């Protein structure tokens, strides 16, 4: 059996981070960090930015060490574009800090940043992610970074020299300045620094709106460092030891590469351990983009799956491995896989890496996440929710027959997630509507063999358990072929079974496919099944 330290990426990074933290500052609280820009919906790709350090920080805490997970809200970033679905008049706010842009129409939140931040904060709480949140608006406007800003401006030639190493032409940018003021009149960053005095820190700027002024940078709190300087400044200021970043940050001349040099040469700090994380996709959807507006968020995922399952998707894959999150029929297969893993863990048969990912999914150092007491298969719950259109009494009747469920609360929150998936993600042409009356035209057209198959089915409906109904629907074609009930499936037998299943679906729901037949039969009830199959 492989050693868990070799197979569990979280443990491996925790080892590295603890060792690096001891080298840098023995005995101090270890700092892991994330950064999110609430410029639009914070999608499931962005969630990897938070889950990766969360899992590492939680592992460090499991080992009894002090570790904080800083989450910087980049809410002092400029508003870049108006997402799809928002009034185009919001374009007048382009260039303002996100916290100075009004929230979308109808929002209860104070500003644009808070509107998109709130659902992520709620989702992270549900996911068991503990963090120390930092508003970059609050940091900059309160003067927390004043000394760091003055340092960056004083060392602007050194910064420009670092940047020039990655420019196509090895020349310094004329008048490079690492600080961008927000205009005091229009609040936008459409400004140009026209003069700066290193002795007095007097800074003159003009804005595209026509406004201009001179301020003392040592007292000015309405502007920010450009991103490639801002990020390494924070690494040094916060003492960050671990922070992942996306693929886009790791190309030559990118913020990660450049920042790794600026942090030491300008701010006297060190670059964090920083794995690159890969793309997170959605089955049936193209690449996610917050700026386009229509992207699945953590809150969207938590409507259709339980928190431990969503945590597991991020815990089981190394950061550099891409993966997809299912919002379509694949979610049923995902849950089958999750339940199978749970059985392996319970039986003591899980591999070390599987066990580690499972344990990180179901609990944190703060305790276990909420679990469904009786985890009926998701595909079964979805079928029942579909067939009953969410009717609670009918749902309980079926689940009692299926699995001995006494109250629907035993199957929650999984039942509610499956119901939500049916309501929002099951296509209309895939919905199940049981026929009200028999299809007499189809019944009249059947041959002797098909009529006999339906009679055998109706006669076998007395034994009303899922196992018995499963054996019945697979067994009728075997009986007709003169085979024993435990006969192995042959190509001919499989063909006969498929034809029988299609006939039953047409008689019960008016199409060739549908939910698993045993579940469907259980939901419809013996008397109504007999009526619809003409027996």
45-79 pLDDT, tens digit per residue, is 999 999 999 999 999 999 999 999 999 999 999 99
% residues pLDDT > 70 (the chain): 95
423-447 pLDDT, tens digit per residue, is 999 888 888 889 999 999 999 999 9
42-62: b (≥16 Cβ within 10 Å) or e = bbbbbbbbbbbbbbbbbbbbb
The length of the chain is: 535
**In whole numbers, what is the pLDDT of the chain averaged over residues?**
92
3-state SS assignment for residue 163: helix
310-334: b (≥16 Cβ within 10 Å) or e = bbbbbbbbebeeeebbbbebebbeb
Mean pLDDT of 80-86: 88
Fold of the domain built from segment(s) 440-532: Arc Repressor Mutant, subunit A (1.10.10)
| Entry pTM | 0.89
Place 7 in a pLDDT band, splitting at 50, 70 and 90: low
Report the pLDDT value the prediction gives residue 169, as an integer from 0 to 100: 58
Q: Do domains 4-146+227-280 and 440-532 have the same CATH topology?
A: no
Report the pLDDT value the prediction gives residue 11, as an integer from 0 to 100: 97
Out of 3-12, 84-93, 143-152, 453-462, pick the least confident: 3-12
CA distance linking residue 316 with residue 258, whole number of Å: 31
**In this model, does residue 336 exceed pLDDT 80?**
yes
Mean pLDDT of 199-225: 97
**In this model, does residue 525 exceed pLDDT 70?**
yes
Query: To which residue do tokens 């590469």 refer?
Result: 257
Where do the domains of the chain lie?
4-146+227-280, 372-431, 440-532
Residue 99 in contact with residue 80, Cβ under 8 Å? no
* Class of the domain covering 4-146+227-280: alpha beta
Out of 83-92, 283-292, 393-402, 515-524, pick the least confident: 283-292
């Amino acid at each position: 059996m492989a050693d868990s330290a070799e197979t569990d990426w979280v443990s491996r990074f925790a080892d590295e981070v603890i060792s690096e933290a001891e080298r840098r500052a023995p005995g101090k609280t270890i700092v892991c960090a994330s950064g999110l820009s609430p410029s639009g919906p914070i999608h499931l790709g962005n969630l990897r930015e938070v889950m990766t350090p969360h899992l590492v920080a939680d592992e460090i805490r499991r080992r009894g060490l002090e570790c904080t997970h800083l989450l910087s809200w980049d809410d002092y970033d400029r508003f870049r574009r108006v997402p799809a679905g928002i009034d185009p008049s919001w374009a007048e706010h382009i260039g303002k800090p996100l916290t100075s842009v009004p929230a979308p129409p109808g929002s209860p939140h104070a500003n644009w940043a808070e509107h998109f931040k709130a659902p992520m904060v709620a989702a992270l709480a549900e996911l068991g992610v503990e963090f120390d949140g930092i508003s970059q608006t609050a940091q900059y406007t309160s003067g927390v970074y004043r000394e760091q800003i003055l340092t960056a401006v004083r060392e602007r030639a050194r910064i420009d020299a670092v940047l020039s190493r990655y420019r196509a032409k090895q020349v310094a940018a004329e008048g490079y300045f690492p600080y961008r003021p927000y205009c005091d009149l229009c609040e936008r960053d459409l400004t140009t620094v026209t003069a700066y005095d290193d002795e007095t820190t007097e800074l003159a700027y003009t804005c595209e709106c026509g406004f201009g002024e001179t301020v003392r940078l040592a007292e000015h709190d309405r502007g920010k460092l450009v991103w490639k300087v801002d990020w390494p400044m924070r690494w040094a200021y916060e003492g960050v030891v671990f922070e992942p970043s996306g693929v886009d940050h790791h190309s030559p001349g990118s913020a990660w590469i450049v920042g790794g040099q600026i942090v030491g040469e300008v701010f006297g700090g060190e670059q964090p351990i920083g794995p690159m994380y890969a793309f997170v996709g959605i089955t049936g959807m193209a690449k996610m983009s917050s700026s386009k507006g229509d992207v699945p968020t953590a809150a969207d995922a938590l409507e259709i799956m339980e928190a431990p399952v969503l945590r597991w998707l991020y815990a089981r894959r190394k950061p550099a491995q891409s993966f997809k999150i299912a919002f379509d029929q694949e979610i049923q297969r995902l849950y089958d896989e999750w339940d199978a893993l749970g059985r392996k863990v319970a039986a003591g048969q899980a591999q070390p890496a599987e066990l580690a990912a499972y344990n990180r999914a179901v609990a944190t150092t703060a305790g276990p996440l909420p679990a469904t007491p009786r985890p009926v298969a998701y595909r079964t719950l979805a079928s029942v929710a579909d067939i009953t259109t969410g009717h609670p009494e009918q749902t309980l009747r079926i689940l009692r027959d299926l699995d001995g469920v006494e109250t629907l609360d035993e199957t929650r929150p999984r039942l509610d997630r499956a119901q939500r998936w049916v309501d929002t993600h099951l296509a209309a042409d895939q919905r199940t509507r049981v026929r009200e009356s028999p299809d007499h035209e189809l019944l009249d057209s059947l041959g002797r063999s098909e009529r006999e198959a339906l009679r055998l089915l109706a006669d076998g409906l007395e034994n009303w358990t899922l196992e018995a109904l499963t054996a019945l629907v697979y067994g009728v074609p075997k009986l007709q072929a003169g085979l024993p009930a435990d006969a192995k499936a042959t190509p001919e037998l499989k063909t006969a079974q498929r034809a029988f299943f299609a006939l039953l679906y047409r008689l019960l729901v008016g199409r060739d496919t549908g939910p698993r037949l045993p579940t469907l039969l259980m939901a419809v009830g013996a008397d109504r099944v007999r009526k619809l199959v003409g027996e």
